Chain A
Amino acid sequence: MSSWLDYTINGLIVGNVYALVAVGLALIFGVSRLINFAQGSIYLVGAYIGWVAVVQLHTPLPLTIIVVAVAAALVGLIIERFGLRPLQNSVRIAPLLATIGISFVLDQLVMLTFSPNPRALPSQLPDVRFQVGGGTIGPLDLLIAGVGLTSALLLFVFLRYSKLGWAVRATAQDRDAAMQMGVDVNRVNQAVFGIAAALGGVSGMLVGMYYNQIDTAMSLQATLKGVVAEVVGGAGNVPGAVIGSLLLGLVESYGVAVFGTSYRNLFAFLLLVVVLVLRPNGLFASARQAPPEPLTGTFIAPSRPVRIPRWALLAAAAIFAVLPFFPVSFYVLQTLINAWLLGMLALSLTLVAGTIGQVSLGHAALLAIGAYTSALLSLTLSVPVGLSIIGGGLMCAALGTALISPSFRLRGHYVSIATLAIGEIVSLVILNWESVTRGPIGISGIPPLSLFGYDLISPTSIYWFSFTVMVVLALLQGRLLTSHLGRSFRAIRDDDIAARAYGLSLNRYKSLAFIFGGFAAGVSGGIAAHLYSYINHETFNTQQSILALTVVILGGLGNVVGAMLGAVALVGLPEVFRIAAEYRILIYGIVLLLLVRFRPQGLLGTL
């Protein structure tokens, strides 16, 4: 039984670590209703500034903490001033995309400055261990707990009893009213970003010391776990974020205890989904609290879409259709094949995110379902490849809709977080369900694409195949959008209460959207499986989900042509920037930021 004490202590220790990130996220969400995807990057920056201070400048610990806090706060202020403030009057989704772009830029800057090799960040505290249960804890554990709890407490007092704190809360509740009452909203935002960034930077440094290891890949993981912890505790609730973090740590630890290490994250994300379904505002949100999202659809503001004349679309389709007859290299064709596959995924996402307003951050899971279904059908049951891809699409439509249905009652950001979690769950199930998916070994020897008995193996034929499939899906979706179904979808997005009052069954329409979207994504995944011939649980990862969302926002939410244009742009740009070698992702991030800055409604506008 003493083991359970150890698992509990270990869970609390890790929860402690998560709390540091979660508190910063909660603070920012509390004020600007924004999930700051750049928080993990600030954490990364803090860790490396800490490394410079400790290893190069040999500063003592208190000074190191001050240096890191000040430097990270500066980074936070710069992000707020130049990355987010210009977007404050644009659609709500634009800042979200901006934080993703900022995190690309920051991560790449750190990687280019310090090289991607992991570094040791030695702890500056004495190495004594205290025996607790069957394990030990050290002074760093206590320091991390101290920093987490103190900052949560200080923030709580600051928000409740100081004048600036009142201003912060007023801004959080109603930005316009606060402004009318003379609150300097920008100053409030600055203060919040500064504090959150300082906290993020210090936590990166402390965690780096804790593991004696920092590397550039730590940013995304920190953001993911921080977001989970924050949402479990109740987004925007600072003490709730601490408790949510501890709970997350405990659940992970008990998950390892009962089922083994490879199930660890599965429990973290299941916890999130269960909490969201049972208490959509998090565990510690009071019932009287104002709803975290506006009741009507300002999350996705409609804008005037760019009307593209029919002849121009036809001409573009014709040019792409005859492209292989011109002397273009297979490399260009392959890049466009990738764009068409991503385009199908984007069609799916633009329907569920843009048209019906369910912004999904777990869309790669749909690719995975389609890919595994088609691969296994063709390999184990010898289903012809063309049929197996359709099977993948159907399976994805059914399974994807079933998986996502618990989150139908959620709104705005919470849908994104729930789908993010569902995406991770699918990937972890694929990893662990070895009898079907072959686990980490993956599925190899998947037969190539074929149609009516003819193998499609030349890049030209694969190009035509994927282009045709995408165009057909796009035409179907365009038809759907102009039908009464499309109008009902948009009605639900723009005002779900009014839609319900008109007698629209929200869940049924959301299901319909996911069925259609799931099919398109599943087909895309199925084609990819036969193209790659080998897939495993890492083939369709979180980065792909984020990429898909970026494509959709870039093209214009709900915009069918925009989804395809965005896919070409975001597959093409990193290829064009190949000349820049290591710098290409940095440039890509900057271009993304500029696009969001000057076209927040997307290239072609929301439909």
Chain B
Amino acid sequence: MSNIDRRSLVKGSLAAMMAGAAVSRGAFAQSSEPILLGVSGPLTGPNAQYGTQWKQGFDLALDEIMAAGGINGRKLAYQFEDSQSDPRQSVAIAQKFVSDPRIVMELGDFSSPASMAASPIYQRGGLVQFGFTNSHPDFTKGGDFMWSTSVSQADEQPLLAAYAVKRLGLKKLAVLHLNTDWGRTSRDYFVKAAKEYGAEVAVTEGYIAEERDFRSTLVRVRDASPDGLILISYYSDGALIARQARQVGLKQVICAASSVYSPKFLELGGEAVEDVHLGTRYFPEDPRPEVKKFITGFKAKYGGQEPDAFNAYSYDAMNMAAAVVKIGGTDRRAVRDAFAKVKDVSSVIFGSATFDVESRRVKGAMNAELVVRKGQFALWDGKPT
């Protein structure tokens, strides 16, 4: 258990509440205490699964950071507060973290409404909000304390479009997307890129996150007679769509965004996801050392479980946070300035990550073109399916 003891945390936060905001922020320097990061994310509620995946990635990264000697000899730990992805709770958590002098940086939240509602409080309170899954184009516009390693959809979607149109030779596409800020932004970038590469987008359909039944949507897709289906989905809804598409007899090539990259996609989709193509940021047999280390470490820690995209995001985020704190120390402003200084941090998603100071995001995500073969993700061999 790499997280710090909960009881001491409780005592600490009570003490912090008593002491209030008046306490000066640099007042703690005992090196026996760990450097503390605040995490705001869903552990209960409809998005709870993503919060638990974050934890797995964080804990693995912390094990490795500790094994390598910690942060200049000090321990690194995080305090995870459950927001249920609810803006009402994420703003309260934001005040809690801002007024707790032990917190040097915040990570999260998961959904855009919860994250961006808290941004003004972090900005005014002078605490970095490091949103590592926040792809909303306006997230980092909240202020100079908002930083993100979320892969910009302006980067990712053209890669997927190139895979579908240039490599797989699809000419007429049906795009199914999650009707959230992420799905909508992604769809717009994808459609733009696909048209540039010469494909026609015959139909786009947005569905809400709770949707389970796609049969009628797939009739619309069939009537548009596309030669490929594009899924801008998470793994659970992606698997549902693939299954139902095959059940109603649609045999077109399916090409999906990297967010379906999870062993759960294979488990939930079964035979229906065979031959599904997907663009990802890394793949199981990836020769890059940081990926090998991540995958072997993850499997060893979690009983052979394969990591997925959200595990990778949170693992990368914790490593990035450690690199930033190594430079910036425990002063909150110095931590913010350190984001602009970190260079070439080893990353599963980016290979090596350096922030673009202007947009406060990282550009140039890695790209791998995968396909599901015999129930496993494999590098695409160039053969048509």
Query: What is the interface of chain A, defined by CB distance below 8 A to chain B?
Result: 3, 6-7, 10-11, 13-14, 17, 108, 111, 115-120, 122, 129, 131, 134-136, 138, 211-213, 215-218, 220-221, 252-253, 256-257, 260-262, 264-265, 327-335, 338, 341-342, 431, 439-442, 444-445, 448, 457-459, 528, 531-536, 538-539, 543-544, 571, 574-575, 578-579, 581-582, 584-585
Contact = CB atoms under 8 A, between A and B. Distances in A.
B138 A211 contact: no
A102 B59 CA distance: 33
B289 interface: no
Contacts of A262: 179, 205-208
B264 interface: yes
Nearest to B95: A334
A220 B209 CA distance: 13
Contacts of A264: 207-208, 211, 216
Most buried by A among B88, B91, B121: B88
Nearest to A262: B206
26 contacts: A13-B215, A116-B44, A117-B264, A129-B247, A134-B222, A134-B248, A135-B247, A135-B248, A217-B46, A220-B46, A261-B214, A262-B205, A262-B207, A329-B95, A331-B17, A342-B88, A440-B183, A440-B206, A441-B136, A459-B95, A528-B87, A532-B113, A533-B142, A534-B119, A571-B88, A574-B89
Contacts of B88: 338, 341-342, 544, 571
Given A211-B240, A445-B138, A330 B6 contact: no
Contacts of B362: none
B120 to A, nearest CB: 5
Which 6 interchain pairs have the tightest Cβ spacing? A532-B117, A534-B116, A116-B48, A334-B95, A331-B96, A10-B215
Given A338-B88, A431-B179, A536-B181, A260 B220 contact: yes
B215 A334 contact: no
A256 B210 contact: no
A440 B181 contact: yes
A117 B119 contact: no
B119 A329 contact: no
Contacts of B138: 444-445, 534
Contacts of B346: none
Interface residues of B, number: 83
Given A327-B20, A335-B92, A534-B117, A215 B6 contact: no
Contacts of B367: none
A457 B95 CA distance: 13
B190 to A, nearest CB: 15
A406 to B, nearest CB: 25
A564 B369 CA distance: 56
Interface in B45-61: 45-46, 48-49, 51-53
Contacts of B96: 329, 331, 334
Contacts of A445: 138, 141
B184 interface: yes
Given A136-B249, A441-B181, A444-B141, A330 B111 contact: no
B91 A334 contact: yes
Given A115-B52, A136-B248, A531-B91, A578 B82 contact: yes
A134 B125 CA distance: 59
A248 B176 CA distance: 23
Most buried by B among A445, A459, A534, A584: A534
B129 to A, nearest CB: 13
B347 interface: no
Question: Which DSSP category, helix, strand, loop or mixed, fits chain A's interface?
Answer: helix
A176 B123 CA distance: 62
Contacts of A256: 216-217, 220
Nearest to B235: A118
Given A440-B180, A585-B44, A330 B113 contact: no
B219 A213 contact: no
B6 A211 contact: no
B184 A14 contact: no
Given A330-B98, A534-B112, A120 B207 contact: no
A120 B269 CA distance: 8
A211 B212 contact: yes
Contact of B49 (A117, A135, A333, A533): A117
Given A111-B44, A117-B52, A135-B219, A329 B17 contact: yes
B52 A261 contact: no
A579 to B, nearest CB: 5
Contact of A532 (B87, B100, B214): B87
Contacts of B345: none
B99 A330 contact: yes
B95 A333 contact: yes
Interface string B342-371: 000000000000000000000000000000
Interface in B123-142: 124-125, 136, 138, 141-142
Contact of A535 (B80, B113, B212, B213): B113
A265 B208 contact: yes
A138 B179 CA distance: 29
A289 B321 CA distance: 66
B22 interface: yes
Interface string B182-220: 011100000000000000000001111011111111011
B43 A581 contact: yes
A533 B215 contact: no
B116 A261 contact: no
A144 to B, nearest CB: 12
Contact of B219 (A7, A220, A334, A535): A7
Contacts of B46: 217, 220
Contacts of A431: 179, 208
Nearest to B111: A538
